[in-house]
Amino acid sequence: MNPVFEAYNLIFYQPILKLLLFFYKLLKDFGLAIICLTFLIRTLLFPLDWKNAKEQEKFMRIRKGIEEIEKKFEGEKKNKEILALYRKEKINPLFNLLSSFIQLPILYTLYKVFLEVPNQLNPSFFGVLNLSNPNLFLVVAVIISQFLYFKLSFRKSKKERTTSFPQTKMALFFTPLTFLILIKLPSAISLYLLVTYLFLIFERVLFHV
């Protein structure tokens, strides 16, 4: 077996699969098992989420300074000034990218597990929703929660608000993309994402980030 695949299987796939099956045996409901698994994963990732939010908050604080540098300088000089501002404010511009990269194996594993597990057990949620099939209601709920999360994550102070806001545009871009992807996938994935976004929204509201 490939060493990389073996490491992935040992660190990510097997633990997540076993946890999902554990919650399913305990609760006798696939949907509830997914919700419990999601809460556990988000709780474990909370320190990373918190650090990410703090970095985001710092970046929003210096956004005006970055805009002024971009107006004043060009080329290499502009890049040096922006990096100097990052160092002054103790901001790591690669942290958000790193935190996203860390979570990619988890998302991929959940995708694999949710595709394979429903064939081994009853994929129903409260005996009503079949989570092995796409579900329009859950997809729409994910899109709404995703948009709210983006709005909360990139909100500006009252003094800084403008009608044009790049992150809002990014949220609008992701909305149709999310719909096109999820509408073809098992709704187990939509349920996981819905609970994830609700958890993240709660974090933002709770800590006013």
Write out pLDDT tens, residues 185-203.
Answer: 889 999 999 999 999 898 8
Average pLDDT for residues 170-194, to the nearest whole number? Answer: 84
Write out pLDDT tens, residues 38-77.
Answer: 999 999 988 888 887 777 777 777 888 888 888 887 788 8
Write out pLDDT tens, residues 82-92.
Answer: 888 888 888 77
Residue ranges per structural domain of the chain? 3-56+96-207
Does 168 score more than 60 pLDDT? no
Write down the pLDDT at residue 162. 43
Tell me the pLDDT band of 166, cut-offs 50, 70 and 90. low
Tell me the pLDDT band of 159, cut-offs 50, 70 and 90. very low
Secondary structure (DSSP) of the chain: --HHHHHHIIIIIHHHHHHHHHHHHHHS-HHHHHHHHHHHHHHHHHHHHHHHHHHHHHHHHHHHHHHHHHHH--HHHHHHHHHHHHHHTT--TTHHHHHHHHHHHHHHHHHHHHHHGGGTS--EETTTEETTS--HHHHHHHHHHHHHHHHHHT---TTT--S--HHHHHHHHHHHHHHHHHTTS-HHHHHHHHHHHHHHHHHHHHHT-
Average pLDDT for residues 164-171, to the nearest whole number? Answer: 54
Regarding pTM above 0.75, the answer is yes
Write down the pLDDT at residue 158. 43
Mean confidence (pLDDT) of the chain: 82
